[in-house]
Structure 1
Amino acid sequence: MHLIAFLMTGPTSHHHGMWRHPESENSFLDAERWRTLARTLERGKFDAFFFADALAFYNPTIMERGGQMSLLDPVPLIAMMAQATRHIGLGVTLSTSFFTPFGIARSLGSMDVLSGGRIAWNVVTSVSDREAQQFGMASLLPRNERYERADEVVRICMDLWESWSDGALVIDKASGVFIDPQKLMSTSVHGKYVGANGIFPVPPSPQRHPVIMQAGSSPRGRDFAAKWSELVFTLQHSLGDMQVFYEDMKQRVASVGRAREDCCILTSVDPIIGETESIAREKQAFINDLVDPDLGIALASAHTGIDLTRYPKDQPIEDIQVEEGSRGSFDVILQGSKRGGLTLEQAAKHFATSELCPQIVGTAETVADQLQAMFEAKGCDGFILTPTEMPGSFETFTRSVVPILQKRGVFRTEYPGTTLRETIRS
């Protein structure tokens, strides 16, 4: 079983009542908070943690009510957290819609070298024109073109990372040879959207290049993930949905000539742990009640790229017909809401509690039971864990659930090597 922690440099992650919880420490601007959290997750032998990112305040409601936002650039934060740890993987989100291949490859390649081969790149194409406007653009490319550009960006990054052959960095004082030019390849690519021309200056890390991670839900996003991703992050509502997505992705991976095990499918869950089952349920009700319904609608609008505020709050969610925006994200919202016949307001509040990923509620023992059951039923290769309070959710899970999973033999007791790629392939 693989475990990765979901983080953001702001007041919330998937649960949009998190920052309002009385035990949450809203110290996201404190460097020591992040170093301590990194060490906690490493003690729990997590594969990695990764930072999702938001490049703009998506709307005034999200800004005012403390919705999903990033107050800090996660790139320097990841570099700092790498210094506090030795084994855990470190993931960062960078959008292919705004950043150039050379800039991405140089920044992440440098961190991969300095961390000893522990970096993952969460590849996103972005869905909000507000983000585009932060970069001086009028709007994003059309959706299909965003993936075409993403494909170019990732392909060029891979060319740059692979341009150093083994032994290229000589550093021989006696001969005076520093780099063997014969073992470097120049990259010359002029694509439709981006390009690169020259010799890449960053030597390879112990894992050669960062692990590729992606979270596409639409058919086009899944095809992209099948081609490039080693970790796929998905939001699914139930075990049945997980199993369908899992098998679909494994087939897509095989169809492009990769082994099924080359890509780990990780589904998001929100663990809520109590000393007893009833205490855990009370904790769940308490934290879920902290979510503002208007914030939920604003959040769903930001995630889908659709202005849902123009629809009546009492309209059944399945009656809303949309064409624009992120169809895959809207389908995820529908997936979890049709069964209950929810209105837009109810569905949006439900979405804002955990973005429709399952809340795994119970004692440490029963939470471990539920995770093990989903894992062994081929619903996933592991889990993206999202917190409901910070840092308590991760501290409690690490202290109470991880030892149970380790005792059962479904989770590691030690890291298998020094790089993230070694960890995810063990």
Structure 2
Amino acid sequence: MHLLAYLKTGPTGMHVGAWRHPASRIDDILEPSRYEHIARVLEAGRFDGCFFADLFGLYDIHKGGFDTYIERGGQISFLDPMVVLPLMARVTEHLGLGATLSTSFHAAYHLARVLGSLDVLSKGRVAWNVVTSATDLEAQNFGIGALPPKELRYDIADEVLEACCALWDCWDDEVFVLDKASGIFGDPRRIRYANYVGKHLRTRGPLSIPRSPQGRPVIMQAGASDRGRDFAARWAEAIFAAQHGQAAMKQFYDDVKTRMATRGRAPEECQILQQLTVVLGETESIAREKADYLDSLVDPELALAASSSGLAVDLAKVGEAGVAGARGNQGMDGTQQRIEQLMQNEGLTFDQAVRRGTRFTLVGTPAMVADRMHALFAAEACDGFVVAPTVFPGTFEEIATALVPELQKRGIFRKEYSGRTLRENLCGPARS
């Protein structure tokens, strides 16, 4: 079983009320020590890694502005994760480190350069959560009036990935000679031009960045649409999935693994990780009481704003019937699918579902939660989980000290890291 941590450089993860909990630390969001501490906690818990979800702007879809998000503490990125991740790399040796970056706004050369640099400095522990972006507000921040159609965004993303891989492959291993006596610093015969030319972009190369110990960053992805699944089948080594209910998880798992097989990829080359939040207690009743208290902290207006952001539709103005037409090229299909699955599985109305939120939460003792995780893993509904915090950093501290030992006792989670790079820990031995 694999575990990744879902992080934000802001107050709120998946649970929109948890920042209000008395034990949640919110006064250190802009402090380096916050990120150094959570990195150490996750590595002590033997997590494969972490990644930062990100948005290139402030959500202003709900009621036409960002007031609700700022006033009530929504999912906001107060810091660029690419500035935070080096802090975390510095205090760890094994933990994977992931950033979310868009192929719709960033040049391939810039992406390859900045991610390759961090991969070198961390000795091969970087992951790139590839997104094509889902809101016009992000496009406008990069001087584009509106997002291109989804199919075109994915076509561009394919070329960006092709170009980045060509750039990362410009360097062979062992370029540096470092012979002071002969005056030979490096071997230029081991570096080549990329000369990538696609329909939508081109880049000459070579990078000035040496090859990292894992060759290139691990590719993450979270697309749930048909085109997104095809993209994942080609590129992804880890998928952040968020289906609701075991049947939907299993369907997604089998679908993506089948698409991988048609491309000649082995199933173990990509780990499908379902989104999860947990609430742990010494007894089931204590855990349930804790969960109920957390839910009492949810601001209904912020919950609605969060669903509006995922769908890219102002739900304060548009009801269920108007969502599909109002989305246009925006919004995330995964959010729409999770709402529909929640309505079906729990008999909720559309309004109830969007106000409640679609996170998948397990509540109970560490043994109870481990039993349920084990059952989903054994049923091949997932290869592991992306765990989002409720109380920060307490959720991860409890997982590391109480839940992880339960998983280890079952023989389904590592006791020590076996690889030196993120790819080795996540997908097996290094590629040649």
1:209 aligns with 2:246: no
The answer as to 2:291 corresponding to 1:284 is yes
Tell me how far apart the structure 2 counterparts of residues 170 and 258 of structure 1 sit (CA, whole Å): 36
Retained in 2: the 8 A contact 1:55–1:134? Answer: yes
Provide the residue aligned with 2:341 in structure 1: 335
Structure 2 counterpart of 1:274, one-letter code: G
Equivalent positions of 1:357-376 (< 5 A) are 357-376=359-378
1:224 to 224, 228, 231: 231
Q: Aligned pairs, how many?
A: 418
Structure 2's unaligned 5+ residue stretches are: 61-65
Three-state SS of the structure 1 residue aligned to 2:34 is helix
| Aligned equivalent of 2:131, options 102, 121, 124 | 124
Measure, in 1, the Cα distance between the counterparts of 2:81 and 2:124: 18
Letter of the structure 1 residue corresponding to residue 264 of structure 2: G
Q: CA deviation at 1:378?
A: 0.6
* Deviations, residues 228-261 of structure 1 (Å, cap 9, x unaligned): 1100110011111111111111001111111111
Give the match for residue 23 of structure 2.
23
- Cα pair distance change 1:321/1:212, threshold 3 Å: closer
The Cα of 1:341 is off from its aligned counterpart by 4.0
The alpha-carbon deviation at position 320 of structure 1 amounts to 5.3
Mapped to 1, the partners of 2:334 and 2:97 lie a distance apart of: 26
Return the offset for 1:283.
1.0
Q: Which of 308, 318, 326 pairs up with 1:311? A: 318
Report the alpha carbon displacement of residue 295 of structure 1 after superposing the two structures with TM.
Answer: 1.5
Q: For residue 321 of structure 1, report the CA deviation from its aligned partner.
A: 4.3
Give the TM-score taking structure 1 as reference length.
0.95
SS at match of 1:187: coil
The alpha-carbon deviation at position 319 of structure 1 amounts to 8.4
User: How many Å apart are 1:167 and its aligned residue?
Assistant: 2.6
| Letter paired with 1:169 | F
- 3-state SS of the aligned residue for 1:123? strand
CA contact (8 A) 1:102 1:157 kept: yes
- Normalising by the residue count of structure 2, what TM-score does the alignment of the two structures yield? 0.93
Alignment check: 8 A CA contact 1:96 1:125 kept? yes
> Structure 2: which amino acid aligns with 1:349?
R
What is the distance in 2 between the residues matched to 1:167 and 1:416? 24
Alignment of 1:70-219 (within 5 A): 70-219=77-226
Task: Give the residue type in structure 2 aligned to 1:33.
Answer: R
The equivalent residue for 1:423 is 425
Point out the more displaced range, 300-309 or 382-391. Answer: 300-309
Deviates more, 1:369-378 or 1:297-306: 297-306
1:53 correspondence with 2:48: no
Q: Which amino acid aligns with 1:142?
A: P
After superposition, give the CA deviation of every residue in 1:348-390 in whole Å (9 maximum; x if it has no partner). Answer: 2221xxxx23211100111111111111111111110111110
Task: Name the counterpart of 1:255.
Answer: 262
Cα distance in 1 for partners of 2:69, 2:401 equals 33
Q: CA deviation at 1:98?
A: 0.9
Over the matched positions of the two proteins, sequence identity in percent amounts to 48
**Residue 248 of structure 2: which of 218, 222, 241 is its match?**
241
CA-CA distance at 1:340 after TM superposition: 3.5
The one-letter amino acid of 1:246's match is Y
Aligned to 2:35: 34
Q: How much does 1:346 deviate?
A: 1.7
Secondary structure of the equivalent of 1:107? helix
Deviation at 1:296, TM superposition (A): 1.9
SS in 2 for 1:269: strand
* Structure 1 residue ranges without an equivalent (≥5): none
Which amino acid is 1:7 matched to? L
Q: How far apart are 1:305 and its partner, in Å? A: 1.9
Q: How do 1:260-271 and structure 2 match up within 5 A?
A: 260-271=267-278
Asked if the contact 1:236–1:357 (Cα under 8 Å) also holds between the matched residues in 2, the reply is no
Over the aligned positions, Cα root-mean-square deviation in angstroms equals 1.5
The aligned residue for residue 354 of structure 2 is 348
Hey, what does 1:8 align to over in structure 2?
Answer: 8
- How far apart are the structure 1 equivalents of 2:347 and 2:322? 10
Aligned amino acid, residue 335 of structure 2: S
What code does the residue aligned with 1:232 have? I
1:270-320 per-residue CA deviation (whole Å, 9 max, x = no partner) reads 1100111011111111111222222122211211222322235xxxx5885
